[in-house]
Amino acid sequence: MTNSQQTKAAVLRELHKDGVLVLPNAWDAGSAALIAQAGVKAIATTSGGVAWSAGKPDQQVLTRDEMVALVRGIVAAVELPVTADIEGGYGPAPEDVAATVTAVIAAGAVGVNLEDSKPDFSLFTAEEQGARIRAARAAAEQAGLPELVINLRTDVFLFGIGAPEGRQADVLARAAVYAEAGADSLFVPGLLDLTVVAELVQGQPLPVNVMAGPGAPTVAEFEAAGVRRVSVGTAVAQAAYTLAQRAAAELVGKGTYEELAGALDFGAVNGSFNR
């Protein structure tokens, strides 16, 4: 553990207190370096993009060691705080979560996303997830990084768990348990209704993170509703891979290059990386 890592963790924690933290998620060292140049204040990984960069699908198909190696490369590529998407913790038990947290801290991360869903898209009970959060917090303290920012992702809205009219109450009840267990912020992907978002902000103690994208409210609208963190999940990675596929299809099919127009030039990209 270095003073630099502790300082970055403290910075990431402070960024959740006022205004809105905007995180266009990175998926490898190169994307992290280019995203950093855009003026972001921290780098967040996306588990889907990280898995795709290794040629594997999302949903914990990537091994813990593979994920950690990719996070280590991202940390090395930027000077900013890095928060790592550790999915469901790479195992159901609290000790699995603890092992993953220990590993990503060793790789240089200062924050994690931890989901309350399982690979079969069901959810841990709030009490089960609370035990997993406590294990994550204990592992961070044992690793010398008690400042680790735990962004607890609940998938109630994303996976449509339970009757629609009961989902808000479910999230509020879960948030109370998660906060008591040591979570630092609440991530609610799948929720874009600004009225419900504002009610969640007011109804529980944790800073709220939403996942946005095309068709979602603007960052300014989310901020006005009290949101403290806006990320985009796999959206930037999807756009990049879409361009690669479209450019290749155009080149093979038409022999033309229009999809490549407007790209950063070689020097701009090449000069973005540490020597």
CB atoms within 10 A of CB 41: 15
Residue 212 has what pLDDT? 98
Q: pLDDT by residue (tens digit) across 7-44?
A: 999 999 999 999 999 999 999 999 999 999 999 999 99
The structure tokens 């348990």 sit at 177
43's enclosing H/E stretch is strand 43-44
pLDDT average, residue stretch 264-275:
89
Residue 2 confidence (pLDDT) above 90 = no
pLDDT recorded at residue 61? 87
The whole-number average pLDDT for the span 248-252 is 98
Cα–Cα nearest to 83, from 176, 28, 148, 29: 148
Q: How many residues does the chain have?
A: 275
Residue 275 pLDDT greater than 70, yes or no:
no
pLDDT in tens, 122-153: 999 999 999 999 999 999 999 999 999 999 99
Residue 53 CA: distances (Å) to CA of 23, 46, 49, 66: 19, 11, 6, 11
Q: What three-state secondary structure class fits 184?
A: coil
pLDDT reported for residue 274:
75
What's CA 253's distance to the chain center, in Å?
37
**CA-to-CA dists, residue 166 to 112, 140, 170, 191, 250, angstroms:** 28, 34, 6, 14, 48
Which alpha helices (DSSP H) does the chain contain, by range? Answer: 3-14, 29-37, 47-53, 64-77, 94-106, 126-142, 167-181, 194-203, 219-224, 235-253, 266-270
d(CA 271, CA 5): 25
Question: What global pTM score does this model have?
Answer: 0.95
Query: In percent, how much of the chain has pLDDT > 70?
Result: 99
Q: For tokens 């600004």, what's the residue?
A: 194
Neighbours of 127 (CB within 10 A): 10
Q: Identify the pLDDT of residue 96.
A: 98
